[in-house]
Homo-oligomer: A and B are copies of this chain.
Amino acid sequence: MIIVMKQGAGKAALDDVKNRIKELGYKPHVIHGATRDVVGAVGDEKNKDVLQTLEILPGVDSVVPIQKPYKLASLEMQPEPSSFELAPGVAIGGDNFVVMAGPCSVESEPQIVEAAQKVKAAGATVLRGGAFKPRTSPYSFQGMEEDGLKLLDAARQATGLPIVTEVVNPRDVDLVYKYADVLQVGARNTQNFPLLRMLGQLDKPILLKRGMASTIQEFLMSAEYILSGGNRKVVLCERGIRTFETATRNTLDISAVPVLRQATHLPVVIDPSHSTGHSAYVPSMCYASMAAGADGLIVEVHPCPEEAHCDGAQSLNPQDFANMMAKLRRYADVAERTL
């Protein structure tokens, strides 16, 4: 922590700050600047939250944190990129580029099985599909719940594709764990800490979406909740942040990819469907994700988007998905990624 004093704060104020720093178990270190003093508080971070309140002392201008609040997620802790299996034979991280695809929500057995077959044929290696759907309106379709999970299982058996599906309620963790290969945390639950804590106890990978209003640092702190519980298989998913622009559903923060690369060892995937909200924009964002250095994609594909129960406007149809994948493979060659 760096405590910045006000210009003209006197010796008494400075002494107060130094004493308070000592009381909290830190060592104060003063730099007398040209126009104002700053005080470094040297020590570990146990009382970081309390240090922050020094800002209300007389003569203090502001308190600036220096240390990164995440540890297990940091590249400083683990300099090599993490790589692990999402399911047997499907590794993420390193040179792999993983495409997860499927409909927004599971609607029926023919729908999810057809989706699984089509995305597999085009090269996807994980099937996505929602059984529990967090919807803005209580009057919208909320997902098929356990019946949906069973249909995902049927699609997995029909195609061999592992399944990533969302869990929204701590009470459903055991149920979703039973069916899913990868458990997804949606953007609305990025800071649902009780849920994250439970997922930290599991031995299956977690796909953690960034919240619409989460900074990259907060996003990593959410990952830290899972990691600190013991589950080291966390995949970060950038899915668009909320901005003033309305031409897209959200704004895909593509530069989060290189930022995360310099901050964390965890793999990073992109969701071009929820971020843009319109299928016409999805393929170019898939290519851009590959070129930006992402480790994978999670893309919405529906056998018949115009009949989807939700988010049809952002779903690719199987043919457009196959076309995208063909071109994506060529970009993968340049990016030296195995797709």
Contacts and interface: CB of A to CB of B under 8 A. Distances in A.
Contacts of A218: 136
Contact of A221 (B66, B138, B313): B138
Contacts of A213: 211-213, 242, 244
Contacts of A2: 2, 38, 64, 66
A259 interface: yes
Contact of A245 (B192, B194, B215): B215
Interface stretch (A92-100, A108-116, A148-156, A271-279): A271-279
Interface in A289-336: 289-293, 305-310, 312-313, 327, 330-331, 333-335
A217 B291 contact: no
A175 interface: no
A38 B66 contact: yes
Interface string A59-86: 0000110110100000010000000000
A259 B280 CA distance: 9
B168 A169 contact: no
Nearest to A302: B53
Interface string A256-291: 111101100000000000011011110011011111
A31 B42 contact: yes
A8 interface: yes
Count this chain's copies in the assembly. Answer: 4
Interface residues of A, number: 113
A252 interface: yes
Interface in A188-227: 188-189, 191-194, 197, 211-213, 215-218, 221, 224-225
B32 A42 contact: yes
A254 interface: yes
Contacts of A258: 276, 280-281, 284-285
Given A244-B213, A308-B53, A331-B334, A280 B262 contact: yes
- A48, A76, A212, A284: most-surrounded residue (chain B CB, <10 A): A284
Interface in A227-260: 228, 241-248, 251-259
Contact of A34 (B42, B188, B255): B42
Nearest to A169: B194
Contact of A244 (B29, B169, B243): B243
Given A192-B192, A255-B281, A288-B292, 14 more contacts: A29-B31, A49-B140, A56-B305, A56-B313, A64-B66, A137-B224, A168-B193, A216-B245, A217-B247, A244-B244, A248-B259, A254-B285, A257-B288, A291-B291
19 contacts: A6-B76, A7-B76, A20-B306, A31-B31, A33-B66, A49-B140, A49-B141, A53-B305, A53-B313, A63-B313, A69-B137, A134-B193, A139-B224, A171-B171, A189-B192, A192-B192, A243-B243, A243-B251, A288-B288
